[in-house]
Chains A and B, each alone.
Chain A
Amino acid sequence: MTQTMNPVLLSVLRGRLEQIADEMDATLFRAAFNPIIAEAHDASHGFYAPHTGDTLVQGKSGLPVFVGAMAFAVRAVIDYTKKHGAAQRGDVFIFNDPYEGGTHLNDFKLVQPVFHNDRLFCYMASVAHWHDVGGNVPGNYNPSATESFQEGIRIPVVKLVEAGVFRQDIMDILSANSRLPLSVYGDLNGQRAALSLGDMRMADLIDRYGAPTIQAAFDELRTRAAQQMRAHIAALPDGVYTVEDFLDNDGISDTPLKIRVSIEISGENLTLDFAGTAPACAGPVNISRATTQASIYVALKHIFRDVAANAGVLDPVTIKIPDTSLLNAHAPRPVGGYTETILRVIDVIFVALSKAAPEKSNGCAYGTINALSIAGRKPDGSRWVMFSFFGGGHGGNPVGDGLSHGNAPISMATIPPVEILESRYPVIFNQWGLRTDSGGPGAHRGGLGAIYEMEVLDEAEGFLFGERGKYPPPGVVGGQPGSRNVFQYENRQGQMTTPEMVSKMTGMDLKTGARVRLESPGGGGYGDPMTRDPVAVLNDVKAGFVSLAAARTHYGVAIDDNNEIDRTTTKILRSGAQN
């Protein structure tokens, strides 16, 4: 038996520590210039171990996918200090190298050491999505990039502040490489303000409780998170659960890319082995090892949501990623479409774990970020860019149907209102509604995807980075998949056309009045649709979530002309399905 800390003090300290990280988040959200941070909260803060970079404490309001990646960012800084000399009081490191710190070039990591009595006590980190970091495409979602150089500027670990002295030269380099230098300046200062606040609050906490007590709390919280994860894993039946799924293509050639995971549960240990996953590819759907690990963390946290957010979550988890796979990309492989691959990694984990723990799982969510930009020139010649991510359905789950039109599992971002989009850009939306029959059939149906159809009111050019155009979001526990992503645009000849790469395209040529239509996927279903309560099916038909035909084919429910369940036919349909 290890010694345990006074549980009351531990509960209090856990709250205080998470609180500091939350306050850091709040400071940045308030000070940031760009709406991706200020509105969509695409940022995160936390505290990390001084020698390993392991996550000690993470805030509750930050972006989910960063939570798992930030330990790698701190580790990159630790590696830097090993080569170039130890961190000093007043240093702040900065970088955006996705191969070291995970995710993509827009995410700038600031890392600052926390000292106590002249000894390194821990690190703090702040990561946030900057609006524009150069590259070929404004906003940096470039579906035809074949090297990271086309995606933006890459900054290795450097000191932004050296022993308290701010390096203007670094700032100048960053500003010179963005289309929106003012935004870069504002966001960077917001991140520095968050770190200063964190430093101050941690010093107060150490003053009050003493460094050894805080250290003991860090250790204890990790131990307990690991214990809790072990307990969760031990409750699952031992076995090997293998699942594969595919990305449509890499945007360069239309070849499916396999994502494969074997999850082995053995006692209280869990191994994820990605052997069999496609090798690194030419287009931007590669991700670095750090990003893959972050995705695993997000998937596990969605399933085991009561476990504290620290490195202990992954203590009982072994991760095997083949070095040559697209889940372990090295420079300069393009990684700008990292969101799509992360979402697919999360999906295969959901499906694999549904086999071991159906009561904790859910059907897959819509599985694509659908980054769509429409761009053109204003009458004065200046450029306009409408850039947005679109939503889709969440999976059916043990307690109910999936949420319609939700956000991606890796983010909490919201979509701008139609009226804001129409007031800022020359577009008009003809449709902004739910997509009938898109939710995966199941005892608990997947949530519905959406149909967005707009018309451009001026000459424009379009870019799309999407997925799930060929492989729909799977259901679990007998549930069926949701609908595929369908994208169409009106070409010069007035015909609705689908891109060659299905859901990815650069340089769509749109004439005035041309229509652009996106039908996003629904979520996967949960459980056998033939067991869905016929009354629920009838209600879905009445509401128009499910068509009459689908009620019959997918659910085996016949509805008569009076809008009532035809019990006899339903019985026949359902018994037939079981044979």
Chain B
Amino acid sequence: MQDIQPHILVGIDVGGTFTDVFVIDQDTGKASVHKVPSTRGKEADGFFHGLGNGAPDLRAVAAVIHGTTVGTNALLERKGARAGLITTSGFRDILEMRRRDRPTTWGLWGQYEPVIPRSMSRQVEGRILSDGREHVPFDEVGFCAAVDDLIEAGAQSVGVVFINAFANDDHENRARQLLNARWPNAHISISSELLPEIREYERASTTVLNAYLQPPVGDYLATLENRLAENNFGGEFLIVQSNGGLMRAQEAARTPVKTALSGPAAGVYASAYLARGSGFDNIITCDMGGTSFDISLVSDGEAALAAQASVDFGLVIRSPMIEITTIGAGGGSIACVDAGGIIQIGPESAGSVPGPVCYGQGNQRPTVTDANVVLGRINSDSPIGGKLESLDTDAARTAIMDEIGTPLGLDVMQAAEAIIDVANARMAGAIRLVSIERGHDPRSFAAMPFGGGGALHCCALVREINFAGALVPRFPGVVSALGCVIADMRHDFVRTVQEPVSTSDLDQLAVNIAAFEAEGRARLAQSKAQFIDIRTQISLDMLYAGQTHSVIVTLDSALATKLDRNAIKKTFETAYHQAYGQILDAVEPIIVNLRLAVIGERPKFDLSLLAPGDNLTKEDALYGYRSVVFEGKTLNAAIYDRLALPVGAVVSGPAVLEQPDATCWIEPGFLAKVDTIGNLVVTAQTTTGEAP
């Protein structure tokens, strides 16, 4: 066998519609992107189809890094395992009780279907108090009977959640031992191992979702690993977590709940990185896909992390994840006129199947993409992704006229522009709200559209929000795949402390910090990946006694190595003051949770590798001209091959920049400039026209 030094990194993001592949050759510095249709239900096929296009010889591949939606889809479509739950006596309904909420503010018709039905839920005696004392001993016999009972009932996986296990995990540890002995099985989820944090519903939900996902995600990853091995792959196989960091595939199989936002998180991570390369530290990413428009905020170069998210009503996952706000305004979102004569966009979507009317696959109701096609902004002769030969503009026109134009007395172009205007307004509204909720003024940010459709709307978003500008990445359609390649490895830990600063057991805290750090470093050491640095981030969730919202208090390394009450209190006060503009002297600060992340920083490739090559000219990149309708006028827009534009080229609107995975629409009054790493910086011309 020939000896090849592995030198290629492959990022693969399997989305609902497309499987995107980003390949970087570390020796030659060549990057390439590939897009193939996803194979829903048989994701592994799409994965290998894409991989084959990008890197035919796996012996040369050092790492395959994967962003996956297999977990997300299993949750949304309720196609996880038949799982069982064993919990504390009196709390059999821990899932159905939720936090006593409902799905929508208006209307009382909602329902909740737990992933583990009540008939698969068992309770056993044994009770720990909130301070960790044992109140009732653990009934081991009863526990074993419950396990047998669940196996008998066909359980493929089991979750164990005992009340107050965050304070004392003895009973859960014993449960783990008994389970291992009785039912040797990889599919066991123990709440205190996964999330030793106070709040039983959030912990239970996270634990049972993990149990629900272990079999399908584990099987999927095992299939991939086997097929990779069969194809002589000897490198590292890594999975993107919802926090934007990577973990080994074996770890992902054990804790699949941490991959729920795998693909989107990689996209946001990559955006932050690319934006820094272009000199932008503050961006709002706008990922426009087929069914949704996803917004994330990157401030000072760091993507905001949320402590938890709900995948669907009541399906709470508590685990640090990139904060993503989703509204139902994607390319496939359906436009209609409601009974009050108001145009509504979404949340109903045509998705990718049947897709927009212009796809000709059976949908008759107009979508945002249909409007973009009719207005000439999307090239109907060469749709992105290469799945379809051409788009049916006439069918799109008819649908827009029937559903929007005729009811409102508009002609077809007016109606199409109306759809775009309303969609833009919805996106802009959501962006404003996200930034306000985080305490930021959106005007100090730039928009970073990605996904196939985002760049069609970037000028409108700049206008609506007064963004400083927009930054369109060189490969907007494969940003998540790029994110896979550049992401760092990361392991997060949490433990509830729940003690006042003045009396907190700092020695115990130091022991926990050391243990988490050792565990994190050990996990990194198991990986074959190279690291240029290993960092530890330590923070405390703190609040004033009586409050419920905590603030994140980051401990610098000096304070983390030598814990000091006064310094912790001071750091908390600084953080609290920053958030709320004041300090409450009379109230005792409480340490709620310890959080620790160990980050293995991977070597970064030179972003200029992504830049356009030499010998390109703007003139050669010009395809020709096409009619595009904008604000009621038919404009003669220049059409460029985006990837053929040289560094420094400036294109003024009206113009359409086309590339295989995305389309960018530059409105009149805007300039787009190709920067040194190939990103497009879009700004309003200084002498702007009058406001509309």
Which residues of A are interface residues toward B (Cβ below 8 A)?
4, 7-8, 10-12, 14-16, 18-19, 22-23, 26-27, 30-31, 33, 35, 38-39, 60-61, 64, 182, 186, 197, 208, 224-225, 227-228, 231, 301-302, 305-308, 362, 365, 390-391, 394-395, 397-407, 409, 412-420, 422-423, 428-434, 448, 450, 453, 542-545
Contacts and interface: CB of A to CB of B under 8 A. Distances in A.
Nearest to B342: A11
Pairs A-B, 6 closest by C-beta atoms: A391-B100, A433-B93, A423-B130, A415-B100, A8-B418, A414-B99
Contact of A35 (B102, B106, B119, B548): B548
Given A228-B340, A404-B112, A433-B90, A414 B100 contact: yes
B547 interface: yes
B98 A307 contact: no
Contacts of A224: 340-342
Contacts of B426: 15
A545 B163 CA distance: 23
28 contacts: A7-B337, A7-B341, A7-B343, A10-B341, A11-B421, A11-B425, A19-B432, A22-B429, A26-B433, A38-B547, A38-B549, A60-B105, A197-B436, A208-B691, A305-B107, A394-B102, A403-B102, A403-B112, A409-B108, A412-B101, A412-B105, A419-B130, A419-B163, A419-B199, A430-B90, A431-B91, A432-B91, A450-B97
A38 B581 CA distance: 16
B118 A544 contact: yes
Given A302-B106, A302-B107, A543-B118, A8 B200 contact: no
Interface string B89-132: 01111101111111111111111100001110000000101110
Interface string B523-564: 000000000000000000000000111000000000000000
A399 B417 CA distance: 36
A469 to B, nearest CB: 20
B93 A434 contact: yes
A300 B395 CA distance: 39
A412 B422 CA distance: 28
B456 to A, nearest CB: 18
Contacts of A544: 118-119
A418 B498 contact: no
A33 B587 CA distance: 12
A12 B422 contact: yes
B339 interface: yes
B669 to A, nearest CB: 16
Given A8-B418, A391-B100, A433-B91, A26 B118 contact: no
A227 B339 CA distance: 9
Contacts of B437: 26, 30
B126 to A, nearest CB: 13
A33 B547 contact: yes
Main secondary structure of the interface of B (DSSP, over half): loop
A406 B104 CA distance: 11
A50 to B, nearest CB: 24
B12 to A, nearest CB: 37
Contacts of B131: 423
B422 A543 contact: no
Contact of B106 (A31, A301, A429): A301
A315 to B, nearest CB: 13
Contacts of A231: 339
A564 B271 CA distance: 57
A430 B163 CA distance: 11
A403 B118 contact: no
Given A433-B92, A543-B118, A19 B109 contact: no
Contact of B433 (A23, A33, A409, A416): A23
Nearest to B408: A7
Interface in B297-354: 337-344
Contacts of A305: 104, 106-107
A543 B153 CA distance: 13
Interface residues of B, number: 72
Given A27-B436, A308-B342, 13 more contacts: A8-B414, A8-B422, A11-B421, A11-B425, A38-B547, A64-B105, A186-B582, A405-B97, A407-B102, A409-B108, A412-B105, A429-B90, A431-B90
A278 B105 CA distance: 30
Contacts of A362: 108-109
A422 B166 CA distance: 13
Contacts of B439: 30
Contacts of B429: 15-16, 18-19, 22
B547 A412 contact: no
B198 A417 contact: yes
B549 A39 contact: yes
B372 interface: no
Contacts of A416: 548
A8 B421 contact: yes
B488 interface: no
Contacts of B118: 434, 543-545
Contacts of B103: 403
A405 B90 contact: no
Interface string B577-592: 0001110101100000
Contacts of B202: 417
B665 interface: no
Contacts of A430: 90
Nearest to A422: B130
Contacts of B166: 419
A26 B436 contact: yes
* B91, B108, B581: most-surrounded residue (chain A CB, <10 A): B108
A64 to B, nearest CB: 6
Given A39-B548, A407-B101, A418 B200 contact: yes
Contacts of A400: 109, 111
B91 A38 contact: no
B565 to A, nearest CB: 20
A413 to B, nearest CB: 8
Contacts of B338: 306
B164 interface: yes
Contact of A8 (B99, B100, B343, B344): B343
A406 B108 CA distance: 9
A414 B586 CA distance: 28
Contacts of A208: 691
B201 interface: yes
B633 interface: no
Nearest to B580: A31
B42 interface: no
A51 to B, nearest CB: 25
Nearest to A232: B339
Nearest to A180: B546
A405 B340 contact: no
B438 to A, nearest CB: 9
A85 B103 CA distance: 46
A545 B109 CA distance: 19
A8 B405 CA distance: 11
A402 to B, nearest CB: 8
A423 B422 CA distance: 48
* B99, B104, B199, B342: most-surrounded residue (chain A CB, <10 A): B342
A61 to B, nearest CB: 8
Nearest to A303: B107
B163 to A, nearest CB: 7
Contacts of B337: 7
Interface in B336-394: 337-344
Given A401-B111, A433-B92, A15 B425 contact: yes
A11 B97 contact: no
B93 to A, nearest CB: 4
A228 B339 contact: yes
Contacts of B130: 419, 422-423
